[in-house]
Structure 1
Amino acid sequence: MRSSKWPLSLVMLLTCQVLLLLLIRQVRGEESHCTSVAGMVKLLDLEAQLIDNLEDYAVELEKKLETVRRSITSLRLENDKARSSTEEYLSNPLNSFSLIRRMNRDWMIWQLYMEDPIGLPQVEKIQELREHMPTNTDVEEAVTALDRIQNTYGLKVSHIAHGLLNGKQYNVSFTALDTYAMGQILFDQENYLAAASWLYQSIVLMEVYKLPAPLELSKNEVQMVYAETLLKLNQNADALKVVNIALTDRPHDIKLLMKKSEIETLIRTGTKSAPLLKKTLQVQGTEAPTAYQMGCRGQFPASTDGRLHCRYNSTTSPFLILAPLKMELVGLDPYMVLYHDVLSSKEIEELQGMATPGLKRATVFQASSGRNEVVKTRTSKVAWFPDSFSPLTLRLNARITDMTGFNLHGSEMLQLMNYGLGGHYDKHYDFFNQTNSNMTAMSGDRIATVLFYLTDVEQGGATVFPNIQKAIFPQRGSVIMWYNLKDDGVPNTQTLHAACPVIVGSKWVCNKWIREREQLFRRPCLKKRL
């Protein structure tokens, strides 16, 4: 009796393959193309390779086409010669033999030549490069990022599709393939209102621009998805109009006729779709913006506090007596200051060069699991550097001490971060507020945050404090510093903050979280447990 068990060698082989696939997926998950502008640069290089490969394919096609056309000319000349004087031609035994031989052998060779596939090396090259291309997850993240930009800044879908971003026109626009992908994925995410807007834009673009082969998009297909989306929004009458318009082009299409009958039944019986999600019921652009959205849009009122001022700071450390820093007092609760012209262009370029090769997807500490995890609320890539990594990091930490007056011993490493498409960090606190946690047991909680802006950002990317209505927009070479804890060491909930989505630009920042334990003699009014 034959055993039903698989051979051990086969089981081991399959196990290795599964583990390899999981490892590849994990690595590619960390790659996350759209979460960093610096990380997307290599996609352009990859696309250039694909275009070169397609050109090689075209060359192979042209070679074959040239061979065929050249042969057609000679073959037709011989055939025309024979048909012009058929009897005379065929009466010659040489011509007769040649005709029989050609018909028996040459055309078999031509059949094989025509069946022979062209460009197999180029096809294999694309397959080889596929593992470095964006995945479906990457596309979904990019769709979510664009939807985040639209909602945060109150933009119109039609404006985005035509390159009008937050009031500024750019020389770029979407194709119907772009808008259709947005609509499809938002539909799958059950964000039907946003999906409907993007699908409508697809239909509008298809009326104006025709997509080249082989990328043609079926207008009928888009109309069907659009009608389905309208049904999800309980807009049955509008869905019926869309189907009727589609039927004018394809009056005998079975799917369209069945969909029309289905919608007419819904209208006649007054049936509605399932209850819609809250996010779908919201009418974009009509609801009052939240404090966070107002901050991102630059709509916070100007401060009238006369105590806030600008000055040259020469007192925090002895070194500042010789080289004072431009300091702007931004807030008192929490204490928050903005330093200007802290970093030179050369230092910024060096920091970016250090970080780019090692950028990885940013994570957030989750108290529930006790570890750092990738989350949708933070989309960027980071690289960490010990204080003694290079002369530059040593200088940077000395400068932080000069600005804050704090002892950096026991504090966290420098973190360099680059934001990508719609990159953001949702509302959060920097403090842990966990007395017995491993995160605070050794060095205490995060007493202060120091955030360097390495680049200007053309649009978006502000650091917003919604509870105190403060928004700091990135300025190349500047630094924002604030206290996360009150004088008695209690976490200050006024420090709730967020990094607004980047609309246009590459946002680079570098931050340092300073721990409280070593500040015992720098700020003596801390928790008694210290």
Structure 2
Amino acid sequence: MNICIWVFLVCLAPYPTLSHTHDVASAISKLRFILDIDRDLTLQLDTLSGQVQHFKDTIDLIRTAKLQPLPDILEGKIEDFQGSEDNLKHPTDQLVIIKRFYEKWNPVQQHLSSSSAAVTLNRIVDQLKTNWYLAGEAMNGILRLHETYGIPASDFSDGRIGDYQSRLKMSTRDLLDIGTQAYQIKKWEACSEYFQLAEERLSRMLQNSSANRDDNSSCCENSYNRNSFEANFLDINATLFLGYAYDQHHYCELKLGNYHNALDLALKALKIAPDNSNLMENVGLIKDYMAGKVLQRPESSEDFQPAELAICKQSVVSDLQSQNFEHFPVDSESFQIWAKCNYHDNNNPALLIQPIKREIILDKPYLEFWHDFLLDSEIDDLKELSLPGLARSSVAGTKGYEYSDIRFSQSNFFSDDSHPTVRSISARINKITNLTTELADNLQVANYGVGGQYGAHYDFGGDNVAEEFFKNGNRVATVLIYLSNVELGGMTAFLRPKIAVKPEKGGALFWYNLWRDGTGVLETEHAACPVIVGVKWIANKWLRYHGQEFVYQCLP
């Protein structure tokens, strides 16, 4: 809004609210209110003046931010990421872009949030408030990939994962932020690795700094070939950041039971911050640990890894063996080979001319794969429909559908009446399976973000879900449709037996969730492995038991 117009409207606003000004001139006894009115107007004018100045400061801040566009912050490489999601497949690129956007706009958001002018810019403020959530989720995604697949922090930092190379590289600030995030969520191995990388960079910057220059930004930019954004972050004092890294890092090493490393880092931090009482206490504690006076069981993130992560890791080993990627130990356990393939028409005249390409993966649980189930044009329709309304995915719980830390994706739902393609998919499923889709859940379309995954779960409901879940009966069968290929990771892992299915664009998995007596098939427990490289899109159609009574081929 034009500032002059905004000021004019605000100036007019107080008058209708001053009800005691009514009829002052007709009663002498009310003339005393004139003094109150004068005082009120003066205070409001002073306040208004401050608001206008704050608003002007905000405009100046926004203009300053715009003077350094995101393309410049990203070292002129923004054109590499425009036009197609295919250019945003590498997790390092994804993280760097999200964090640069946050780091650019967060000062503006904080300024607006503290200003009454923010009332006129609510939509902008709300959008900016989501930035830290996005940046935090991106860092958590990197940490999930680190933990699940054992990919070293140095590979993410340099953007090198097997044969996949990112266009961007992480800055020193990125390393410090991810290390801090790992510290906060107790991922001690990752915490140690990322802080060590940050320390190496900061030490190199300080060693190469000119003796007659106190401006660390110049040394940082020249010695490490970082852009001005990196330099501006570090120009306060690189030594302080190094001390911070030592301090956080020593605690991670302490939790891992690496006492000699922890002591060395704590002493280095004390040289930079000699008055830090917490560090002094920890030095004494570490010495007690080393002397055996105090016992502590070392903590490792691997102690708490879910079973499905081993399957996810093994599935990636197969993809990376040909790339000589040494960071993944090869498991001796081999995966079951898919053997039964045929053209399936289900005795349905509509499928005689173009039968489904069916591959039977397992007999127990019964699991089959339909190749070329969707056309590329149908996939494009689903993505186009979904993008505007994508929102954080939820899971069925005791209180209805709720958010959960085991699922990291965004999704949208579509009824058969929403689009001809959605209706066509339901009809096709009915022809292939003989199962009615009239009472099925709406088609869910989901997109996974940085390190996106879905922990081990069942599609059928049990005692742990709300009664409303069973309105149309339990989920009798699942159709999981892949809307994209995924270069690395993103497998669908089944825990019993241990197999992983690689996403194939246009293909679909089908399985039954219930036994003859209506109880759940426990062998259908499955998970979506974290996506390493690629963009994963899927669609789910969950078929309900009601309406299937005379057509459902019950499992024995």
Secondary structure at 2:247 match in 1: helix
- Are 2:359 and 1:359 equivalent residues in the alignment? no
- Alignment map for 1:128-527 (pairs within 5 Å): 129-133=124-128, 134-166=130-162, 168-208=164-204, 210=220, 211-216=230-235, 217=238, 218-245=241-268, 253-255=273-275, 259=279, 263=283, 266-267=286-287, 270=291, 275=296, 278-280=299-301, 282=303, 290-295=310-315, 297-298=317-318, 301-303=334-336, 308-366=339-397, 369-433=398-462, 438-439=467-468, 441-523=470-552, 525=554
Amino acid at match of 1:131: D
- Partner Cα distance (1:419, 1:289) in 2: 17
Higher RCO by CA contacts (8 Å cutoff, separation 6 or greater)? 1
- Partner Cα distance (1:409, 1:288) in 2: 33
- Partner Cα distance (1:320, 1:426) in 2: 36
Secondary structure at 1:514 match in 2: strand
Compute the displacement of 1:413 (Å). 0.8
- Partner Cα distance (1:451, 1:314) in 2: 20
Secondary structure at 1:450 match in 2: strand
- Partner Cα distance (2:109, 2:386) in 1: 36
CA contact (8 A) 1:234 1:272 kept: no
- Partner Cα distance (1:258, 1:159) in 2: 33
Amino acid at match of 1:294: Q
CA contact (8 A) 1:292 1:466 kept: no
Stretches of structure 2 lacking an aligned partner (at least 5 in a row): 1-16, 18-58, 70-106, 206-219, 221-229, 319-330
Q: Which of 54, 60, 65 does residue 64 from structure 2 map onto?
A: 54
Deviation sequence 1:283-337 (CA, Å, 0-9, x none): 99xx9973454346556624357xx411111225221112212111111112211
Q: Which moved more, 1:407-416 or 1:201-210?
A: 201-210
Secondary structure at 2:449 match in 1: coil
Using a 3 Å threshold, how does the CA distance of structure 1 residues 348 and 235 change in structure 2: closer, same or farther? same
- Partner Cα distance (1:288, 1:398) in 2: 33
Deviation sequence 1:377-417 (CA, Å, 0-9, x none): 01111111111212111111111112222111211111111
Amino acid at match of 2:336: S
Stretches of structure 1 lacking an aligned partner (at least 5 in a row): 1-8, 10-48, 60-118
Compute the displacement of 1:428 (Å). 0.4
Deviation sequence 1:205-251 (CA, Å, 0-9, x none): 22446241244452222222223333444444323323454577x5x
Secondary structure at 1:431 match in 2: coil
CA contact (8 A) 1:448 1:481 kept: yes
- Partner Cα distance (2:466, 2:279) in 1: 58
- Partner Cα distance (2:139, 2:510) in 1: 33
Deviation sequence 1:12-46 (CA, Å, 0-9, x none): xxxxxxxxxxxxxxxxxxxxxxxxxxxxxxxxxxx
Using a 3 Å threshold, how does the CA distance of structure 1 residues 168 and 363 change in structure 2: closer, same or farther? same
| TM-score, length-scaled by structure 1 | 0.68
- Partner Cα distance (2:552, 2:519) in 1: 13
Amino acid at match of 1:370: K
Deviation sequence 1:469-493 (CA, Å, 0-9, x none): 2211111111111111224433111
- Partner Cα distance (2:335, 2:277) in 1: 59
Amino acid at match of 1:485: L
CA contact (8 A) 1:450 1:480 kept: yes
Amino acid at match of 2:250: A
1:69 match: none
- Partner Cα distance (2:60, 2:294) in 1: 44
Compute the displacement of 1:264 (Å). 5.2
Using a 3 Å threshold, how does the CA distance of structure 1 residues 283 and 519 change in structure 2: closer, same or farther? closer
Deviation sequence 1:412-439 (CA, Å, 0-9, x none): 1111111111111100000114599634
The alignment yields a C-alpha RMSD, in angstroms, of 3.8
Amino acid at match of 1:54: T
Secondary structure at 1:346 match in 2: helix
How many residues align? The count is 412
2:323 match: none
Compute the displacement of 1:523 (Å). 2.6
- Partner Cα distance (1:388, 1:507) in 2: 26
Using a 3 Å threshold, how does the CA distance of structure 1 residues 317 and 54 change in structure 2: closer, same or farther? farther
- Partner Cα distance (2:298, 2:125) in 1: 36
Using a 3 Å threshold, how does the CA distance of structure 1 residues 422 and 289 change in structure 2: closer, same or farther? closer
Secondary structure at 2:497 match in 1: coil
Using a 3 Å threshold, how does the CA distance of structure 1 residues 121 and 382 change in structure 2: closer, same or farther? closer
Q: Which moved more, 1:431-440 or 1:350-359?
A: 431-440
- Partner Cα distance (1:238, 1:161) in 2: 22
Amino acid at match of 2:126: E
Secondary structure at 1:213 match in 2: helix
- Partner Cα distance (1:471, 1:506) in 2: 18
- Partner Cα distance (1:474, 1:449) in 2: 16
Amino acid at match of 1:519: Q
CA contact (8 A) 1:296 1:471 kept: no
Larger radius of gyration: 1
Compute the displacement of 1:276 (Å). 5.6
Deviation sequence 1:116-135 (CA, Å, 0-9, x none): xxx99997699865532345
